[in-house]
Amino acid sequence: MQSFTEENYLKIIYHLSVISNPVQTNAIAERIQTKAASVTDMLKKLSDKDLVDYIKYQGVTLTEKGKLTAINIVRKHRLWEVFLVDKLNFKWDQVHEVAEELEHINSPLLIERLDEFLDFPKVDPHGDPIPDQYGNFADLSFVKLSKLNTHEKGTITGVSEHSSPFLKHLEKLGLTLGKKIEILEIIDFDGSVELLIDDRKLNISKEVAKHILISK
């Protein structure tokens, strides 16, 4: 069994692995709000427990065991987020912090029953896929809205930024999951995107467009 802290490290390493592999010490330190020296200490510990492969000065990768542990935490996090939104009427920008705590509750029965209670959801309120109990993800194909060309159409199915200010902004613009959009024009000057949503014209910045995920 892992401690709360160890679990957080594994989760962060898992998320950072998508961007760069192996994962650098400093990247972890920044995400976990701690110092590089502390990260080094923890990496040694996780390595001793066979949860990561760690090479001095090179970085870390998760072992199979570490990866399964990390995915299980992600699974719990996302299921709790669905619970908070679907059952307790939380807004999608309110769920992250609470789920960060709930994800460490250790009870396989609880998660099994919660999954069932929520009717086996495949994605969380931000469109992120929820792995099954064996760590398998249903593969969903997303494209960043910022990669679409003029006249292309699609449906908003996810976001790649989970901060409350960003999500509130989307909410205000009406850009929520399931909404259908069409690209009208990409403005050369600043890269902003003019799109059609709910029969209205809307201009969003390049920065915003980068974090909206579209499926066709």
Partner DNA sequence: ATTTATTTTTAGATTTGTCTAAATTAAAAA
Partner DNA sequence: TTTTTAATTTAGACAAATCTAAAAATAAAT
CA distance 193 to 144: 12
Query: 3-state DSSP: the chain helix, strand, coil percent, rounded to 5?
Result: 45, 20, 35
Residue 17 corresponds to which amino acid?
A: S
Q: How far is the CB of 26 from DNA (least distance, A)?
A: 3
Q: What angle do CA 19, 24, 25 make, to 5 degrees?
A: 135
Q: How far is the CB of 9 from DNA (least distance, A)?
A: 7
First to last CA, the chain: 42
Which range in 10-18, 31-39, 68-76, 84-92 contacts DNA by CB under 7 A?
A: 31-39
Q: How far is the CB of 198 from DNA (least distance, A)?
A: 44
Binding to a second copy (CB under 8 A) within 75-94 occurs at 84, 87-90, 94
Member of 20, 26, 106, 150 binding a second copy (CB under 8 A): 106
Q: Are 59 and 28 in contact (CB under 8 A)?
A: no
Q: How far is the CB of 116 from a second copy (least distance, A)?
A: 8
Between 70 and 130, name the residue whose CB sits nearer to DNA: 70
CA distance 96 to 99: 5
Q: What angle do CA 31, 37, 40 make, to 5 degrees?
A: 80
Residue 153 makes contact with a second copy by CB under 8 A: no
Residue 200 makes contact with DNA by CB under 7 A: no
CA distance 132 to 125: 16
State the number of binding residues for a second copy (CB under 8 A): 18
Which range in 22-30, 107-115, 135-143, 173-181 contacts DNA by CB under 7 A?
A: 22-30
Residue 216 makes contact with DNA by CB under 7 A: no
CA distance 68 to 63: 9
Q: Is the sign of the CA dihedral 204, 209, 214, 216 positive or negative?
A: positive
Between 90 and 137, name the residue whose CB sits nearer to a second copy: 90
Residue 117 makes contact with a second copy by CB under 8 A: yes
Residue 171 corresponds to which amino acid?
A: E
Which range in 50-58, 71-79, 109-117, 156-164 contacts a second copy by CB under 8 A?
A: 109-117
Member of 10, 39, 71, 156 binding DNA (CB under 7 A): 39
Which residues here bind a second copy, judged by CB under 8 A?
A: 84, 87-90, 94, 97-98, 101-102, 105-107, 109-110, 113-114, 117
